[in-house]
Amino acid sequence: MALMSLAGCENSKSEVKVQADPPRVGTISLHPETLQLKVELPGRTRATEGAEIRPQVTGILLKKAFDEGAYVKKGQLLYQIDAAPYRAALARAHANYHSAEALIKRYKTLIETSAISRQQFDDAQSRFMEAKADLEVAQINLDYTRIVAPISGRIGRSSVTQGALVIENQSSALAVIQQLDPIYVDVVQPASMLLQRKNYLSKHSAGPKDSNEHHSAVYVALEDGAKYGYAGKLQFSEVQVDESTGAVTLRVLMPNPEHILLPGMFVRAELESGSREQAILIPQKAVSRNSRGETSVFLVDSENVVSERKFQAERLIQGRWLTDEPFAPGSRIIVNGIQHVKAGMKVDAYDVGATADRLTSVGITR
């Protein structure tokens, strides 16, 4: 019986000792931060210049003078159409021109002596002007047998081969040239977000308000998530809102020296959308949610007593929740051992210190 009593006393002492040891938890101190927000928006790449190559005269294609997919320069020969019929037409036009020119020279002498009527002279002059126009047209048509690049850029595949018959101003293009460096990125942004961004830039940029939005750099991420290595510049935004979507299209000019970006690619663009001077960011692992979806954190006071604080989470930024609700500078919140505490409990708190410094943060809103 004495042994049982002694064992009971030992258990009681052990329980008292367990209850007396407060749980050990890790805390960080919250400090306001200067937060620059960025918005991530979908976009499509577009060529800055494009030209569809079409024949302007009819004839048999004798030569294709470029490599598909190669870079071509403005004025470079692309196709050669059989020029023989057009050389013959030009020779005939030359003959008619010289005949009309000789006639008008003789008539100028005769009209002075009234050897011919004024009507005959006017008719001869009209035939001369027509012959001159026909000569110019014949020369132009002969020049058009050489199809040259109207712009510099990357040329795509050819839709015709040597020996094909091409038709003047045909609907199908022979090839397409696109300028890829620089390249456009067309970004779609909600109109409400555009207004917020303009208000932010007008407060933080020097110079005329109309040019403020052109001062910030724009970065893009590729379809595989990789960051593109060059920064672009915002060129302009559409002057009207799409009624069906409530969005505005922004155009970004992006360097593309390696031709990594191709027309039609899907990218995500990062643009500045605003800033917070006294932003509070709470680590995600410190946040709890109840059955109603409310977010809260556990605070530790100067006596190491725990209290629960509910707050409204605005958005998640790089693993931390942004909130507008005021927290006293230096407030300690529990980030480690949160599962072992509840409000009113005394804890053994130590400072983790991971986010105690005041840092400038960049947030991405999707």
The phi, psi pair for 263, rounded to 5°, reads -55, 135
Q: Is the pTM of this model over 0.85?
A: no
- Residues 243 and 102 occupy one common structural domain: no
Give, as one character, the DSSP assignment of residue 21.
S
The answer to whether 30 touches 323, Cβ cutoff 8 Å, is no
4 in any annotated domain: no
Q: Are residues 71 and 61 in the same domain?
A: yes
Q: Are residues 112 and 199 in the same domain?
A: no
The CATH number given to whatever domain includes residue 340 is: 2.40.420.20
> Does residue 10 lie within any of the structural domains?
no
* Residues 267, 192 share a domain: yes
295 and 267 in a single domain? The answer is no
Pair (87, 59) in one structural domain: no
Judge whether 146 and 27 are in contact, CB under 8 Å: no
189, part of any domain: yes
DSSP state of 285: G
3-class state of residue 274 by DSSP:
strand
Is residue 121 assigned to a domain? yes
> Given 276, 297, 332, which residue is the final one in a domain?
276
- Does 225 lie in the same domain as 196? yes
In a domain, 7, yes or no: no
Tens digit of each residue's pLDDT, the chain (366 residues): 444 444 455 555 544 444 558 889 999 888 888 777 777 888 999 999 999 999 999 999 999 999 999 999 999 999 999 999 999 999 999 999 999 999 888 888 887 777 888 888 888 889 999 999 999 999 999 999 999 999 999 999 999 999 999 999 899 999 999 999 999 999 887 776 666 666 655 654 444 444 445 456 888 999 888 899 898 888 877 667 766 777 888 889 999 999 899 999 999 988 776 667 778 888 888 888 887 888 889 999 988 899 988 888 877 887 888 887 788 888 899 898 888 888 889 988 888 875 434 433 444 444
The answer to whether residue 162 is domain-embedded is yes
| Torsion on CA atoms 59, 62, 63, 68, rounded to nearest 10 | 60
Cα 210 from chain centroid?
20
Dihedrals φ, ψ of 264, to 5°? 95, -5
Q: What is the CATH number of the domain that holds 269?
A: 2.40.30.170
What's the domain range around 248?
38-48+180-276
Give the total number of structural domains in the chain: 4
Residue 66 and residue 118 in one domain: no
pLDDT at 145: 96
- Fill in the DSSP letter of residue 226: P
Q: Give the Cα separation of 309 and 299 in Å (integer).
A: 7
In a domain, residue 130? The reply is yes
Provide the pLDDT for residue 212: 45
pLDDT of residue 341: 86
Same domain, 163 and 62: yes
Query: Is the same domain home to 196 and 291?
Result: no
From CA 127, how far away is CA 132, in angstroms rounded? 9
Residue 306 and residue 264 in one domain = no
C-alpha–C-alpha distance, residues 57 and 86, integer Å: 9
One domain for residues 202 and 113? no
pLDDT value for 115: 81
